[in-house]
Amino acid sequence: MAAITRRSLVRGLGAISALGGLSACSGKKTEEEEEDDRPQQIGDDAQEVQALVRLALGQLVDRSYITSVITQNGEVPAGTLVPRGVFEPDGTEFFARAGDGNSKGYFNASQNGFKTCFDKAMATLKTYYKYNRAKGIFKNFPPLTYVCDNDEVRKGIGEYLACVFEQVGIEMEVVVQDDQTYANTCAGGGFSIVCAHHDLECTDPQCMLDLWTAEAPNTAQLGKGAHERVSIYNLNLASYGMDVLAADETWANTYDVLAKTIANTADQTVRCNLLHLAEDMVMDTGCVSPLYYDTTPYLHAKELEGHYLTSLGIHSFKGTKFKGSDEVLNVCLGKEPATLDPAWVASPNDVTIATHLCAGLARWTKRAENDYIVEADCARELVAGVQNADGTITYTYVLRDGLVWSDGKPLVARDFEVAWKRAASKEFGSPQRRLFSVIQGYDEGSLSVSATDDKTLTVVAACPVPHWNQLLALPAFAPVREDVAGNGSWANDASTFVGNGPYRMAAWEHGSVIRMEKNDTYWDNPRVVMRQICFHATDDNHASLANFEAGTWQLIANLPHGEMDLIHETHPEEYAIGPCVGTHYLCINANENILPI
């Protein structure tokens, strides 16, 4: 991707100049004339002020500029954290009632709304920081650090932000790190700002909003480090008929309590209102600033048949043919997964690979164009569940006859029990652990799931869960054999990987390719068409494009963003934008001191 330079920022920075971030004033003025000499004293309200300042930093960003100049893949500027494609019980999209409730969310993220946001941001910052009127810059804002990996989009957004902030006197360094260092930096909070994203595992707001509990490894550091002791948050659920009240409490004692309440609320209308409250709380911190709603762009060979994306942006290649052949398919989704342990895979690209190797009780399938459903996979049927007197729901699943692992050993119900309890264990530390919070016993570390015999699995949900069957289709809910999982590196090597999906892992050449072969022991083997799939791995998007154009690879999902206009022009029939229920956002560190210096 071409660097975001001053020349390429003509529109973005020109807009800032027009809004008053740059001054056309000339002539010498005294220091007193140039500065607001009486900014408001902060005093004991430091935490509240920092939240307002973080909100202001997010309001300085022109999101339509990012989507039209940097990303260029049909993304929509975001005014909410929960993305589009998520619906309330009455069929209304969740984002339409978020924030101000007029489909603009928490702020108007469109190009037309940028002026209003920018003006609000400048007014907030002028309240607390010295401002040089002649130059249109703030004089005592502390320097910031934006950290990213080598991802083209994240680097481009960082370069853009640095230029934008510089125009109003805020210095920000962009630091590029290797993948592992970057992951450690995000986890440890060694940054001022990072650009992150989350693509929802299910079309339910809880999948996004559970990310921000103090218990979860949230990147914004809410409830982490020094912020763990900050006591400024309130929670009062009396209007919902609940005896939950907390005043001037910590994030863990308010937001985490709200998240647990949501997971145990049976009334879906009340649950939806509580989810909106949770999004309000996250957005009020200013630590999370939505940028745009994701899409799934890719290039596919015209002769590729039978491929589809689910509504969550997961590719399916099980029924594909290329030029009428069912022999070998070569695709590249981007970097190789860190692991294919089903309890750990999270991104749509990694989930795509995992779902070809692992099968749960349920799976997504295409019923018609743009119509995707969840159907039974290893389970004979997806049962409705039985409501108990205490409001919990008991599901009893019977496995299909003759299920076996890729090494030929029988697959039994206990393999599901082991997998779920393992993934939900706090000690195991899976980032997907939160997905199991809807099951009774989660908080106590004793998940209510058990194999009553080799073919029967019983699980008790804490209350009705609208996205229950979607959860069952996730890799995290796929079975894992206890003797295999005892080897900590089992999921990173073809010689030790054991799955039960439509394909088996034949080879994993790290940094190059994961080679899969049709699994003849899969229960639905006749519907699996392609004999071999090669998932190539690279973070070089230009090399990926070159392989596609040479005909070596038949589908690629890692496109060079700096060449999107050219790609649209040269590959009009092969370029596609698929669905993805996700949001890119800025995380502004809750523990970063951004008070005036």
User: What does the DSSP assignment read for 80-99?
Assistant: SSS-TT-B-TTS-BGGGGST
Residue 332 pLDDT greater than 90, yes or no: yes
Residue 303 pLDDT greater than 50, yes or no: yes
pLDDT score for 40 = 75
Residue 555 pLDDT greater than 60, yes or no: yes
pLDDT score for 42 = 78
- CA proximity to 20, closest of 168, 140, 164: 168
Give tens-digit pLDDT for 139-150.
999 999 999 999
- Burial of 566: CB neighbours in 10 Å, binned 0-12, 13-18, 19+: exposed
Q: Are 476 and 340 in contact (CB under 8 A)?
A: no
Radius of gyration of the chain (CA): 25
% pLDDT > 90, the chain: 85
Which residue shows structure tokens 């994203």?
197
Separation of first and last alpha carbons in the chain: 36
Report the alpha-carbon distance of residue 168 to residue 463 in Å, rounded: 50
**Beta-carbon count within 10 A of 493 CB:** 14
Report the alpha-carbon distance of residue 296 to residue 309 in Å, rounded: 9
Spell out the domain ranges in the chain: 7-207+289-294+583-588, 296-578
pLDDT score for 35 = 58
Which residue shows structure tokens 């996700």?
582
- The three-state secondary structure class of 215 is coil
Give tens-digit pLDDT for 58-98.
999 999 999 999 998 889 999 999 999 999 999 999 999 99
- Which whole number is the average pLDDT over 486-514? 96
Q: Which amino acid is at 557?
A: A
Q: Are 513 and 536 in contact (CB under 8 A)?
A: yes
pLDDT score for 104 = 81
Q: 552: Cβ–Cβ under 8 A, 6 or more apart, which residues?
A: 330
Class of domain 296-578: alpha beta
Which residue shows structure tokens 């040479």?
550
The tokens describing 478, both together, are 């796929």
What is the average pLDDT value for the chain, to the nearest integer?
A: 92
Report the alpha-carbon distance of residue 323 to residue 265 in Å, rounded: 51
Residue 29 pLDDT greater than 60, yes or no: no
Report the alpha-carbon distance of residue 4 to residue 169 in Å, rounded: 19
**Beta-carbon count within 10 A of 2 CB:** 11
- Which whole number is the average pLDDT over 349-358? 97
Residue 3 pLDDT greater than 80, yes or no: no
Residue 580 pLDDT greater than 60, yes or no: yes
pLDDT score for 28 = 47
Q: 406: Cβ–Cβ under 8 A, 6 or more apart, which residues?
A: 497, 498, 499, 500, 504, 505, 519, 521
pTM: 0.90
- Which whole number is the average pLDDT over 316-340? 95
Q: 257: Cβ–Cβ under 8 A, 6 or more apart, which residues?
A: 235, 244, 246
What's the distance, CA 389 to chain centroid? 36
pLDDT score for 235 = 98
pLDDT score for 27 = 39
Report the alpha-carbon distance of residue 264 to residue 392 in Å, rounded: 9
- CA proximity to 474, closest of 367, 377, 337: 377
pLDDT score for 17 = 52
- Which whole number is the average pLDDT over 164-178? 97
DSSP 306-371: S-EE-TTS-EE-TT-EETTB-SEEEEEEESPPS---TTT--SHHHHHHHHHH---SEEEEEEETTE
DSSP-based helix, strand, coil % in the chain, nearest 5: 35, 20, 45
Q: 132: Cβ–Cβ under 8 A, 6 or more apart, which residues?
A: 34, 35, 138, 139, 169
pLDDT score for 564 = 84
- Which whole number is the average pLDDT over 528-534? 97
- CA proximity to 151, closest of 339, 347, 11: 347
* Better-predicted residue by pLDDT, 111 or 174: 174
* Better-predicted residue by pLDDT, 253 or 150: 253
pLDDT score for 488 = 82
Residue 4 pLDDT greater than 90, yes or no: no
- The three-state secondary structure class of 291 is strand
Q: Are 452 and 395 in contact (CB under 8 A)?
A: no
- Burial of 325: CB neighbours in 10 Å, binned 0-12, 13-18, 19+: exposed
- CA proximity to 163, closest of 269, 85, 268, 69: 69
Long-range pairs, 532-536, Cβ under 8 A, ≥24:
532/327, 532/328, 532/329, 532/506, 533/317, 533/328, 533/329, 533/331, 533/356, 533/503, 534/328, 534/329, 534/330, 534/331, 535/331, 535/332, 535/333, 535/353, 536/330, 536/331, 536/332, 536/512
Which residue shows structure tokens 């928490």?
106
Give tens-digit pLDDT for 561-576.
878 888 989 999 999 9
Is the CATH code 3.10.105 the one for domain 7-207+289-294+583-588? Answer: yes
pLDDT score for 10 = 40
The tokens describing 310, both together, are 């689910």
Residue 2 pLDDT greater than 70, yes or no: no
CB hemisphere CA count around 500 (13 angstroms):
28
pLDDT score for 467 = 94
Between the CA atoms of 326, 330, 336 and 337, what dihedral angle is there, to the nearest 10 degrees?
A: -20
Rounded (5°) CA angle 397-398-400? 130
The tokens describing 517, both together, are 């072969």
pLDDT score for 442 = 94
Q: In 233-311, which ranges are continuous DSSP H helix?
A: 255-263, 268-285
